[in-house]
Structure 1
Amino acid sequence: MNVDVLRFIDEKKLLSFARELIKIPSVHDQEDESGNEERVAMFIKEKLEEMGLEVYCEEVSPHRPNIIAILRGNRPGKTILLEAHSDVVTPGDPDSWEHDPFGAEVVDGKIYGRGACDTKGNLASAVIAVKAIKDSGIDFPGKIILCIPVDEEGMMTGIKHFINRGWADDVDAAIICEPENNEICIQMKGAIRIAIRVKGKMAHGAMPFSGINPNLRMARLIIKLHELEKREIDRLGFNEYLGYPSITPTVVMSPSSGKGQLNVIPEDSLIYLDIRTVPGQDDAMITDQIENIFKELKACGQQFDAEMEIIESRPCAFTDKNEPIVRAMDEAYREITGKDPIYSGVPGATDGTFLWAWKNIPFIVTGAGKKDIPHQKDEYVEISQLIETTKLYAKAVINYLYDEW
C-alpha cells in the first residue's frame, strides 16, 4: 500500500458538497412533498454517478428513496459499509434560529444548518472519502458500499429495506457516520417505544365520583414507572460507555384523541414511553415489569385498567474492541491525530442497530459534531473536524480492506 490516499481528499469539494446537502430540506412531511428525502437523494445520486460509482436508487415508500453506491476493488476481499442517512429532523420555527436552517452559512469555521451535524456533514465526509480512494487509483481488495438511507430519524425503514433487499448479506463490517465528536463508539443503547392507554369513564367535572378519572390513575402509573427506572439504575449502575438506563414519559394526552374540556373528565389518558436500555436488560423483562405494575395498581382497588402497545423494540448493540473494524479505526485515529482515541457509546439507537441485530455485522459509530448539538436550533459542525473525519473514514477503510487483523 504505497499510495497516500489522504492526499486525494479535496477539502474545498468537501465543504461545497456538505453545504449543498444542507441547503436541500429533507425533513420528511407527508403534507409537504416539497421538503423530503427525495430531492436530496436525487442530488446525491447524480454526484455519485459523476464519480463513476455503481449507483442504485430504491424507493422505500413514495418519495423516499435509498441510494446505494459501490466501489469495487481489483481483487476479492472483504466488504465494508459506510452508512449515513439523508433525512433530518424539523428545524421548528425558523425565526427562532440565528442562522437560516437551510442556508448552510459558514461563520467562524463552522457550517450552520439543520443536518450540518446530524448527519449531512458526515454524509459528505463519507462520499468524499470514497472519492479520494477512487481518485487515488489504489489497488485495494474487496468492496466499499455507501448506503444513504431514508427515515433514520423515524422508524428506520430505510435501513430495514436495505437489509431486506439483501444488500447487507456480504457486508463484513460497517462504519455508521453519526456525530460522535470523532470518538470510536462501540456500543449503542437499545430502545423500546411503548404506548399505554389508561381507561376511565367520562363524567362532569363537578360530579367526579360518577366517573372514573384516568388522569389520577395515569399519575400513579408514571410514579411507578419512575420507581422502576430507579430500581434498574440501582441494579445495573453506570455503564462505561452508555451511562444509565432510562424510562422517559415523552407525551401525555388526555383524552387520547379529540379535544379535552375543562369541566369534563376524559374517558382515557395516553402516554408514550421512550425506554433506553443498556447491556444487562432484556426487553421482555422490562415489558413484563410494566405489566406487573398494571396488576399491582389494579389490585389496589382503584379501578385501574390499562392496555399497552409496543410500537418498536430495538436491542442494545455492541462490538468487541478486538474486532478488525475497531482496530482499523483505532490505527487511523492514532496516525491522523497523533493522539489516543476515545472509546465511547451512542446514547440512542442508529441504523447500525439493525445491521448488528439482524445481520450480526460488527460496527463502529463515529463522525464529526458534538454529541449534544443534533436536533437543536443553530445546529453546526466544525469544518476542521469534518476534514479530520473524512481522513479517518478513508484511512480506516483502507486499513480494514488491506490488513489481516
Structure 2
Amino acid sequence: MIDSKKLAQEAEKERNNCAQFLRDMCSIPGTSNKEGPVIERIKKEMKKVGFDEIKIDKYGNVLGRIGNGKHVIAIDSHIDTVGVGDPKEWKWDPFKGKYENGIIWARGSSDQRGGMAAMVYAGKLIKKLGLQADCTIWMVGAICEEDSDGIAWLYLLREKVIKPEIVIVTEPTNLAIYRGHRGRMEIKVKITGKSCHASAPERGINPVYRAVPFIKEIEKLNANLKGDKFLGKGTIAVTKIKEDGPSQCAVPSSVEIHLDRRLEATATKASAIAEVSACLKRAGIKDGKVWVPVYKEPSWRGTVYPMENYYPGWCLSPDHSLVKISEEAYKSVFSKKPIVSRWVFSTNGTAITGLCGVPAIGFGPGEENNAHSATEHMPVEHLVKAMQFYAAFPTAYSNANGLKQADKKYSAAKKK
C-alpha cells in the first residue's frame, strides 16, 4: 500500500533539485548522434541520487538500475532533441532558457528531457521510501529517437542489453495514460528524366515536371486515407524534393521525393508502398522507383545499427492488464481516475511494442503540442507529479504479480 501523502511530501522536497537537473540537461545541445555530453550529465545525476548500477551501452544509451526483484520493468526517455530552427523565433536562448512562474522554457524541456528528470528523481524516491517492491527497475536515457524512432530500443531489446516485461514511455502526455499511437514510415520515390542544357529544355525530359501529377496524386491519397476513432486518420505528406543534375543551368536527370506516412491502425508497410505505387501509375509514370530508406548513421559512440525507416503503430486494449495496473498506480497516488488516451506523434514505442512485442504504456510530464516549437516548456508541477507516478508504479505492478499471461507478448491482432 502506497502512503500517497508521504510520497507527495517527499516529491515536493525534490522539486527544485529536479527542476535544476532539467535545466542543466537543456543547457547541453544534443541532437541525434551528438548526445555524449548530456549522457554523461545524466550518469552523474544517477550516481548522485544513489542508483544501484549505472552503465552506458555500446550504442550510447545510458541505463540506471534500482532494485533486484523478480519483475523487470523499464522507464524510457529519449534524451536527444531536434535543433532550434530559426533562432529569431525564440524569445530567449533555447539552451539557457528561462525559469519563471514555475515553468521551464527551453529546447528539450518537454520533448523529452523532462521525462528523464522526473524518472531520475523518482528513482531517488523509490530508494528513500523503499518502493522498489519485487521489481528490477531500469531507467533508460535513449538516444537518436528524433532521427529514427525506436532505434535505441531496437538495439537494447534485440541485443539483449535488458529484458523488461513492460516499458513506461515518458514522452509528454499531459499526465494522462496513453496506450498507443499511429505508426510512421518514410518512403522515397525516384522519378527519372533526361538531362540537357537548360537553354534548350526541349532536348531533355524534365523529371520535375513528370513529378507534378504524382505529387497531386499523393495529395489526393492523403485526403482519402481512413483511420479509426481512437488512433486517428492516416496521413501522407511530401516533405522533401531533391533533384539530381550537373548544374543550375541544366535540366536534372532525376528527382527524389521524400514522403512521411503516418500509418492508421489497419495500414502495413506493404499496403503503404502499394498505395504510393498506385499513385505513380495514375500519374502515368511506369518507371518510378519506390523504397523504404534505411537509417545507418553512426551513434555518438561510433556504432552503426541499421534500421529500416518503418516504425509500426501499436495500441493496447483498454482492458490490457498493463493499462489496468497503470490506472491503479495513478489512483493510488492521485485518488482519482486518469484520462486514458493516445499520442498524435510517434515514440520509441514503435520498436518497444510495434517491432519487439514488449507491452508499453505512456505517462509523461509536459504537453505533446509544444514539442519541436520555439515555445517549448515544462511546468515544474508536472515533474513533481510524474515523479510520484513512476515511484508508485513498481508497487502496483508487484501487487498485480505482473501482467496476465495473455498480455505478456503484444500482438497487433489484440489491439482495439
- For 2:224, what is the secondary structure of its paired residue? helix
Specify which of 46, 56, 78 is matched with residue 48 of structure 1: 46
The corresponding residue for 1:87 is: 80
Aligned equivalents of 1:256, 1:108: Cα separation in 2 = 51
Residue equivalent to 1:327: 324
Matching residue of 1:164: 158
Q: Is residue 2:17 matched to residue 1:13?
A: yes
1:68-87 pair list within 5 angstroms: 68-73=63-68, 76-87=69-80
| Offset of residue 70 of structure 1 | 1.1
Q: Which secondary structure does the structure 2 equivalent of 1:285 belong to?
A: helix
Contact 2:76–2:141 under 8 Å retained in 1: yes
Q: Indicate the residue corresponding to 2:174 in structure 1.
A: 181
- Note if 1:318 corresponds to 2:315: yes
**1:257 and 1:326 mapped to 2: Cα distance?**
53
SS at match of 1:223: helix
Is this contact kept in 2: 1:323–1:362, CA < 8 A? no
| Match of residue 358, structure 1, among 355, 364, 374 | 355
2:239 corresponding residue in structure 1 = 250
Aligned counterparts of 2:210 and 2:19: Cα–Cα separation in 1:
54
Q: Calculate the TM-score normalised by the size of structure 2.
A: 0.85
Q: Can you give the 5+ residue segments of structure 1 that lack an aligned partner in the other structure?
A: 30-35
SS in 2 for 1:390: helix
Q: Is the 8 A contact 1:187 1:317 kept in 2?
A: yes
Count, aligned residues: 381
Q: 1:258 to 1:119 in 2, by over 3 A?
A: farther
| C-alpha distance in structure 1 between counterparts of 2:392 and 2:333, whole Å | 9
Q: Is the 8 A contact 1:191 1:349 kept in 2?
A: yes
Mapping of 1:298-309 within 5 angstroms? 298=284, 305-309=287-291
Contact 2:102–2:379 (Cα < 8 Å) also in 1: yes
2:296 paired residue number: none
Show the 5 A alignment for 1:82-121.
82-121=75-114
Partner-residue secondary structure (3-state), 1:87:
coil
TM-superposed CA distance for 1:258, in Å, is 6.4
Q: Contact 2:217 / 2:282 at 8 angstroms: preserved in 1?
A: no
Distance 1:257 1:379, change over 3 A: farther
Letter in 2 for 1:341: P
SS of the equivalent of 1:159 reads: helix
| Identical columns (%) | 24
1:168 deviates by 4.0
Distance 1:18 1:288, change over 3 A: same
For 1:117-155, what per-residue CA distance to the aligned partner results, in whole angstroms no more than 9, with x for missing partners? 001111100111121011112461121111111101112
For residues 43-65 of structure 1, the C-alpha deviation after alignment (integer angstroms, 9 at most, x for no partner) is 111221231321111231xxxx2
Separation in 2, partners of 1:45, 1:227: 49
The 8 Å contact of residues 352 and 358 in structure 2, kept in 1 or not, is answered as yes
Change over 3 Å in CA distance of 1:128–1:271 after alignment to 2: same
**Structure 1 Cα separation of the partners of residues 338 and 244 of structure 2:** 48
Verify the 8 A CA contact 1:187 1:241 in the aligned structure 2.
no
Kindly report the root-mean-square deviation, in angstroms, between the aligned alpha carbons of the 2 structures.
Answer: 2.1
1:153 and 2:146 correspond: yes
The change in CA–CA distance for 1:226 and 1:168 in structure 2 (over 3 A counts) is farther
Q: Which of residues 270, 276, 282 in structure 2 aligns to 1:284?
A: 270
Residue 370 of structure 1 corresponds to which residue in structure 2? 367
For the Cα contact (< 8 Å) 1:53–1:69, is it kept in 2?
A: yes
